Chains A and B, each alone.
Chain A
Amino acid sequence: MKVALKHIRVVVGKIPRILRAIIEGAITLQSDMELIASGGADLSATARRSHADVVIVAEEMYEGDPAHRQVLVDNPQLKLFVVTDDGRAAHMLEFRRLPVADVSPQGLVEAIRDAVGTGARPQAE
């Protein structure tokens, strides 16, 4: 049984020109991806209007551009890929809403442990 490929809509943010051309070239070669927009200023609005699945941006040494983070807050369904300006590294960010069932001091503490993934509980003194 054939599984239909999900059509992935990609927006590319402001990235150094050569790197941007390389990334765009790689995306346009894929049959299951579509380059929606590139190099635009208002990433958040562009991503929202175009119903993008993925946004790719560049940062110098992962500075943590607030504008990039805002894109995720405004569009929580997005996956944000951050590439360093020099092309040496990349990582993905996503906005995850994890409900905290027990909004109490202890509930928050437990949620923190779960989010970090330690799973450990300190021994009761």
Chain B
Amino acid sequence: MRNGCQPQLVRFPSVRRCRRSAAVHGRARRPRIYLAFSLARGQAYGSTRDRNGGPVGAHITRHVGRCGVHEPTCPRHPLSGEVGVMIAVLIVASIRIYRDGLALMLAREGSFTIAAAVSDRAHAIAYLTDSHPDLVLLDLTTPESDLIIRDVERLSPRAPIVAVGVGDAEQDMLSCVEAGVAGLVSRDASFSPRFEGRLLRRVAALAAARDAAASPERLTVRECEIVRLLEQNLSNKEIAVRLGIEVATVKNHVHNLLEKLHVQRRTDVARRSTRSARAMAGGTPPDPGDPPTF
């Protein structure tokens, strides 16, 4: 996680407030929202106006420090349940009672507007081609749900996906998170607090990894050079000779790369660093303080 920030559980009216604040403060960039639905400890969470709401209530995990608008800076910080910006939801569910029922429940919630409720992948693609929901609610029993997740990431990458009907096994849930799902709703099970903690950390780690991959400007010219040499399995000493710098300097750069790319080993550095990251870094000023050796 960046800067030691911890993911926080925030009720979704804060999302509305943050988006509204974005408009107030004239920020062009929408906040990045990471949703984690959970049926924690058998309880159902809804909005602050509906504490006994149905199980499709939401905890919103927002990684403070990454979001363009932060709760503390928002002038309307206290949760007051005011009606504000609605969250447009695309529901994808092949079973009609779930499709219609989830639409009904969310519409009654007051914070959501149903952008569309579709029954299969083809209709989901057709919708996403022209429109961009704020959130996608996907019933995992829908055929090709794994492909639908990829379609959403391709066509509407800013829309978090919340999966409904996740298997009760922890590995099933973690697999969903690995696939790109930002939130989970189990059909029946309650999550243990320990697993919830693991899940939140995993979501945060995935979010950080995605940002690292999506932020090509973060690698400097020198770091890109070192990545290229790491791909050739050169040692620190060999890299230092090749670049004409001190070994200690190489070690510093490798250490920075491991942190920036969120990997544990130097062999993973090249794999994680994308081509676009290295290409983009061509315009980044070189690192200061890389004294050449003579």
Task: List chain A positions with a Cβ less than 8 A from chain B.
Answer: 16-19, 21-26, 29, 83, 86-88
Contact = CB atoms under 8 A, between A and B. Distances in A.
A22 B95 contact: no
Contact of A22 (B44, B97, B188): B97
B98 A18 contact: yes
B104 A19 contact: no
B187 A17 contact: yes
Given A21-B44, A87-B97, A16 B105 contact: no
B187 to A, nearest CB: 5
A23 B185 CA distance: 17
B188 to A, nearest CB: 4
B188 A16 contact: yes
27 contacts: A17-B39, A17-B187, A17-B188, A18-B54, A18-B55, A18-B102, A18-B164, A18-B165, A18-B185, A18-B187, A18-B188, A19-B97, A19-B101, A19-B187, A21-B44, A21-B56, A21-B105, A22-B97, A22-B98, A22-B104, A22-B105, A23-B101, A24-B54, A26-B101, A26-B104, A86-B95, A87-B97
B51 interface: no
- How many chain B residues sit at the interface, stated as a range, is 10 to 19
B104 A25 contact: yes
A interface SS class: helix
B141 interface: yes
B108 interface: yes
B104 A16 contact: no
Contacts of B55: 17-18, 21
B199 to A, nearest CB: 18
A87 B188 CA distance: 13
Interface string B68-108: 00000000000000000000000000010110011011001
A26 B101 CA distance: 8
Nearest to A24: B54
B143 to A, nearest CB: 13
B97 to A, nearest CB: 4
Given A16-B188, A18-B102, A18-B187, 18 more contacts: A17-B44, A17-B187, A17-B188, A18-B54, A18-B56, A18-B185, A21-B44, A21-B55, A21-B101, A22-B98, A23-B101, A25-B108, A26-B101, A26-B104, A86-B141, A87-B97, A87-B98, A88-B95
